[in-house]
Amino acid sequence: MTAIVDSATQGAPNMMPDYEIKFLPKPTAVLGPNTELTSTVLSTFDMPPSVTKLHAQFLDTTGKDIYTAGWSARIRKTENEDDLELTYKKRYVIMDGDIDAALTTANNDGFDAGDAKYEAQVEWGYQKQTLSITRKKKVADSVNSGMDLPGTCKSRAMLVDKAPDKFDNWLGINWGTDALAKSRIFGPVLAKRSIGTWEGMRLYIEVWPIRNRAGIGNDCLVEASFKTESRTTALTKHDSFISYLQEKGWFLEEDSLKTQLIMERY
Protein backbone atom coordinates (compact mmCIF):
# COMPACT_ATOMS: atom_id res chain seq x y z
CA MET A 1 0.00 0.00 0.00
CA THR A 2 1.40 3.39 -0.98
CA ALA A 3 1.65 5.95 1.80
CA ILE A 4 -0.23 9.18 1.24
CA VAL A 5 1.86 12.22 2.14
CA ASP A 6 0.36 15.65 2.54
CA SER A 7 2.82 17.90 0.71
CA ALA A 8 1.67 20.86 2.78
CA THR A 9 3.18 19.26 5.88
CA GLN A 10 6.56 18.65 4.28
CA GLY A 11 9.29 21.16 5.05
CA ALA A 12 11.29 22.93 2.39
CA PRO A 13 14.26 20.98 1.00
CA ASN A 14 17.80 21.55 2.19
CA MET A 15 19.91 24.28 0.67
CA MET A 16 22.17 23.39 -2.25
CA PRO A 17 25.71 24.47 -1.36
CA ASP A 18 28.68 25.18 -3.51
CA TYR A 19 32.11 24.01 -2.40
CA GLU A 20 35.24 26.00 -1.61
CA ILE A 21 38.40 23.93 -1.45
CA LYS A 22 40.90 25.77 0.73
CA PHE A 23 44.46 24.87 1.70
CA LEU A 24 47.41 26.55 3.39
CA PRO A 25 50.62 26.75 1.35
CA LYS A 26 53.77 27.12 3.45
CA PRO A 27 54.54 30.85 3.77
CA THR A 28 58.28 30.16 3.83
CA ALA A 29 58.00 28.25 0.54
CA VAL A 30 55.70 30.51 -1.48
CA LEU A 31 56.48 34.04 -0.23
CA GLY A 32 59.43 36.28 -0.94
CA PRO A 33 61.02 38.73 1.52
CA ASN A 34 58.24 41.31 1.04
CA THR A 35 55.44 38.80 1.71
CA GLU A 36 54.71 38.64 -2.02
CA LEU A 37 54.23 35.41 -3.94
CA THR A 38 57.44 34.23 -5.57
CA SER A 39 57.85 34.35 -9.33
CA THR A 40 57.76 30.54 -9.37
CA VAL A 41 54.32 30.47 -7.74
CA LEU A 42 53.02 33.20 -10.06
CA SER A 43 54.19 31.39 -13.18
CA THR A 44 52.97 28.00 -11.94
CA PHE A 45 49.40 29.26 -11.61
CA ASP A 46 49.55 31.80 -14.46
CA MET A 47 49.07 34.73 -12.09
CA PRO A 48 49.89 38.34 -12.92
CA PRO A 49 52.18 40.20 -10.50
CA SER A 50 49.38 42.64 -9.65
CA VAL A 51 47.24 41.96 -6.57
CA THR A 52 43.86 43.07 -5.25
CA LYS A 53 43.80 44.43 -1.71
CA LEU A 54 41.16 43.30 0.79
CA HIS A 55 40.58 45.11 4.09
CA ALA A 56 38.44 43.26 6.62
CA GLN A 57 37.33 43.54 10.23
CA PHE A 58 34.92 41.65 12.47
CA LEU A 59 32.68 43.08 15.17
CA ASP A 60 31.80 41.24 18.36
CA THR A 61 31.47 41.82 22.07
CA THR A 62 34.56 41.59 24.25
CA GLY A 63 33.19 38.24 25.44
CA LYS A 64 32.76 37.12 21.79
CA ASP A 65 29.06 36.35 22.19
CA ILE A 66 28.45 36.39 18.43
CA TYR A 67 31.40 34.12 17.61
CA THR A 68 30.54 31.72 20.45
CA ALA A 69 27.04 31.32 18.98
CA GLY A 70 28.55 30.23 15.67
CA TRP A 71 28.02 33.56 13.89
CA SER A 72 30.33 36.24 12.57
CA ALA A 73 29.66 39.81 11.47
CA ARG A 74 32.24 41.21 9.07
CA ILE A 75 32.85 44.41 7.12
CA ARG A 76 35.11 44.21 4.08
CA LYS A 77 36.41 46.67 1.52
CA THR A 78 37.75 45.33 -1.78
CA GLU A 79 40.11 47.43 -3.86
CA ASN A 80 38.46 49.19 -6.83
CA GLU A 81 34.96 48.58 -5.45
CA ASP A 82 32.96 51.55 -4.19
CA ASP A 83 30.74 49.76 -1.67
CA LEU A 84 31.46 48.09 1.64
CA GLU A 85 30.40 44.45 1.93
CA LEU A 86 28.64 43.43 5.14
CA THR A 87 28.60 39.69 5.80
CA TYR A 88 26.58 37.80 8.41
CA LYS A 89 27.72 34.18 8.51
CA LYS A 90 26.50 31.16 10.49
CA ARG A 91 28.83 28.19 10.65
CA TYR A 92 28.05 24.51 11.24
CA VAL A 93 30.78 21.96 11.85
CA ILE A 94 30.48 18.99 9.48
CA MET A 95 31.10 15.79 11.41
CA ASP A 96 32.72 12.76 9.75
CA GLY A 97 32.16 14.19 6.27
CA ASP A 98 28.35 14.08 6.60
CA ILE A 99 27.51 17.21 4.62
CA ASP A 100 23.82 16.35 4.33
CA ALA A 101 23.45 16.05 8.11
CA ALA A 102 24.82 19.57 8.51
CA LEU A 103 22.46 20.86 5.82
CA THR A 104 19.55 19.22 7.65
CA THR A 105 20.61 20.83 10.93
CA ALA A 106 20.70 24.20 9.16
CA ASN A 107 17.28 23.48 7.67
CA ASN A 108 15.90 22.80 11.15
CA ASP A 109 17.27 26.21 12.15
CA GLY A 110 15.34 27.86 9.33
CA PHE A 111 17.97 27.90 6.57
CA ASP A 112 16.33 26.05 3.68
CA ALA A 113 16.15 26.14 -0.10
CA GLY A 114 13.14 28.45 0.06
CA ASP A 115 15.23 31.41 1.21
CA ALA A 116 17.22 32.74 -1.74
CA LYS A 117 18.73 35.57 0.31
CA TYR A 118 21.19 33.21 2.01
CA GLU A 119 24.00 31.28 0.34
CA ALA A 120 25.27 27.89 1.49
CA GLN A 121 28.87 26.83 1.06
CA VAL A 122 30.94 23.89 2.23
CA GLU A 123 34.38 25.14 3.21
CA TRP A 124 36.56 22.09 2.60
CA GLY A 125 40.04 22.23 4.06
CA TYR A 126 42.81 19.71 4.61
CA GLN A 127 40.87 17.60 7.12
CA LYS A 128 38.09 19.86 8.32
CA GLN A 129 34.77 20.68 6.66
CA THR A 130 32.45 23.51 7.67
CA LEU A 131 29.05 24.51 6.33
CA SER A 132 28.63 28.27 6.15
CA ILE A 133 25.30 30.02 5.61
CA THR A 134 25.90 33.60 4.51
CA ARG A 135 23.87 36.75 4.01
CA LYS A 136 25.72 39.58 2.25
CA LYS A 137 24.70 43.21 1.96
CA LYS A 138 26.26 46.21 0.24
CA VAL A 139 26.55 49.65 1.80
CA ALA A 140 27.70 52.77 -0.02
CA ASP A 141 30.89 54.20 1.48
CA SER A 142 31.05 57.92 0.77
CA VAL A 143 33.11 58.84 3.84
CA ASN A 144 36.20 56.63 3.90
CA SER A 145 38.83 57.05 1.22
CA GLY A 146 40.90 54.37 -0.44
CA MET A 147 40.96 51.13 1.53
CA ASP A 148 39.97 52.68 4.87
CA LEU A 149 37.29 50.97 6.94
CA PRO A 150 34.82 52.76 9.22
CA GLY A 151 35.54 53.13 12.93
CA THR A 152 33.73 51.36 15.74
CA CYS A 153 30.62 53.57 16.00
CA LYS A 154 29.99 53.69 12.26
CA SER A 155 30.67 49.97 11.88
CA ARG A 156 28.21 49.15 14.65
CA ALA A 157 25.54 51.35 13.09
CA MET A 158 25.97 49.78 9.64
CA LEU A 159 25.78 46.20 10.89
CA VAL A 160 22.83 46.95 13.18
CA ASP A 161 20.92 48.72 10.41
CA LYS A 162 21.36 45.86 7.92
CA ALA A 163 21.10 42.93 10.35
CA PRO A 164 18.89 40.13 8.94
CA ASP A 165 16.15 38.73 11.17
CA LYS A 166 17.63 35.23 11.47
CA PHE A 167 20.84 36.69 12.88
CA ASP A 168 19.13 39.33 15.00
CA ASN A 169 16.71 36.92 16.69
CA TRP A 170 19.02 33.89 16.92
CA LEU A 171 19.03 33.51 20.72
CA GLY A 172 16.15 35.85 21.45
CA ILE A 173 14.48 38.97 20.12
CA ASN A 174 17.14 41.52 19.04
CA TRP A 175 19.94 39.29 20.33
CA GLY A 176 22.19 40.09 17.36
CA THR A 177 21.71 43.85 17.27
CA ASP A 178 22.00 44.07 21.06
CA ALA A 179 25.38 42.33 20.81
CA LEU A 180 26.49 44.58 17.95
CA ALA A 181 25.48 47.69 19.90
CA LYS A 182 28.17 46.91 22.47
CA SER A 183 30.69 45.36 20.09
CA ARG A 184 34.27 46.26 19.31
CA ILE A 185 36.45 45.74 16.26
CA PHE A 186 38.56 42.59 15.83
CA GLY A 187 41.15 43.53 13.22
CA PRO A 188 41.39 45.14 10.79
CA VAL A 189 43.55 43.00 8.53
CA LEU A 190 44.78 44.18 5.12
CA ALA A 191 45.20 41.19 2.81
CA LYS A 192 46.34 40.70 -0.79
CA ARG A 193 44.66 38.45 -3.37
CA SER A 194 46.17 36.97 -6.52
CA ILE A 195 44.07 35.19 -9.15
CA GLY A 196 45.21 32.45 -11.51
CA THR A 197 44.22 28.97 -12.67
CA TRP A 198 44.89 25.35 -11.80
CA GLU A 199 43.56 22.47 -13.92
CA GLY A 200 40.95 24.76 -15.44
CA MET A 201 39.76 26.01 -12.04
CA ARG A 202 39.91 29.70 -11.09
CA LEU A 203 42.46 29.76 -8.26
CA TYR A 204 42.75 32.40 -5.56
CA ILE A 205 45.79 32.84 -3.32
CA GLU A 206 45.42 35.31 -0.47
CA VAL A 207 48.09 36.53 1.94
CA TRP A 208 46.78 37.58 5.36
CA PRO A 209 49.24 39.25 7.78
CA ILE A 210 47.64 38.48 11.16
CA ARG A 211 48.96 39.84 14.44
CA ASN A 212 51.21 37.31 16.15
CA ARG A 213 50.63 35.97 19.66
CA ALA A 214 53.12 38.41 21.18
CA GLY A 215 51.31 41.34 19.58
CA ILE A 216 54.53 42.89 18.26
CA GLY A 217 54.47 41.68 14.66
CA ASN A 218 52.54 39.61 12.15
CA ASP A 219 52.28 35.98 11.11
CA CYS A 220 51.50 35.56 7.43
CA LEU A 221 48.72 33.13 6.66
CA VAL A 222 48.52 32.07 3.00
CA GLU A 223 45.31 30.55 1.63
CA ALA A 224 44.90 28.88 -1.76
CA SER A 225 41.31 28.18 -2.79
CA PHE A 226 38.96 27.41 -5.65
CA LYS A 227 35.21 26.87 -5.91
CA THR A 228 32.92 24.39 -7.63
CA GLU A 229 29.21 23.61 -7.57
CA SER A 230 29.83 19.86 -7.85
CA ARG A 231 30.40 17.72 -4.76
CA THR A 232 32.08 15.06 -6.90
CA THR A 233 34.46 17.59 -8.42
CA ALA A 234 35.17 18.99 -4.97
CA LEU A 235 36.18 15.56 -3.69
CA THR A 236 38.45 14.64 -6.59
CA LYS A 237 40.06 18.08 -6.92
CA HIS A 238 40.55 18.28 -3.14
CA ASP A 239 42.74 15.20 -3.14
CA SER A 240 44.59 15.99 -6.37
CA PHE A 241 45.40 19.56 -5.29
CA ILE A 242 46.86 18.25 -2.02
CA SER A 243 49.08 15.91 -4.03
CA TYR A 244 50.09 18.72 -6.38
CA LEU A 245 51.08 21.06 -3.55
CA GLN A 246 52.91 18.26 -1.75
CA GLU A 247 54.94 17.47 -4.87
CA LYS A 248 55.96 21.12 -5.05
CA GLY A 249 56.93 21.13 -1.38
CA TRP A 250 54.40 23.90 -0.74
CA PHE A 251 51.75 22.10 1.32
CA LEU A 252 51.17 22.89 4.99
CA GLU A 253 49.34 20.03 6.72
CA GLU A 254 46.96 22.24 8.69
CA ASP A 255 43.44 23.57 8.30
CA SER A 256 42.85 27.28 7.88
CA LEU A 257 41.76 29.01 11.09
CA LYS A 258 41.83 32.57 9.77
CA THR A 259 38.69 33.88 11.47
CA GLN A 260 39.60 32.12 14.72
CA LEU A 261 43.08 33.66 14.70
CA ILE A 262 41.69 37.15 14.12
CA MET A 263 39.20 36.69 16.96
CA GLU A 264 41.97 35.45 19.27
CA ARG A 265 44.68 37.99 18.50
CA TYR A 266 42.89 41.34 18.24
> Which band of pLDDT confidence, cut at 50, 70 and 90, is reported for residue 144?
low
Q: What is the pLDDT of residue 60?
A: 98
pTM of the model: 0.92
pLDDT (mean) for 220-243: 97
Report how far apart, in Å, the C-alpha atoms of 185 and of each of 100, 192, 256, 265 are.
34, 20, 21, 12
Examine residue 12 and state whether it is found in any structural domain, yes or no: no
The CB density around residue 32, as the number of other CB atoms within 10 Å, is: 11
pLDDT in tens, 49-69: 999 999 999 999 999 999 999
pLDDT recorded at residue 178: 98
User: How confident is residue 141, by pLDDT bands cut at 50, 70 and 90?
Assistant: confident
The domain that holds 233 is classified in CATH as 2.40.320.10
| pLDDT score of 214 more than 80 | yes
In a domain? residue 6: no
Domain residue limits at 243: 17-265
User: Domain for residue 199, yes or no?
Assistant: yes
Q: How many distinct structural domains can be found in the chain?
A: 1
Residue whose C-alpha is closest to residue 87's, from 178, 147, 163, 152: 163
11, part of any domain: no
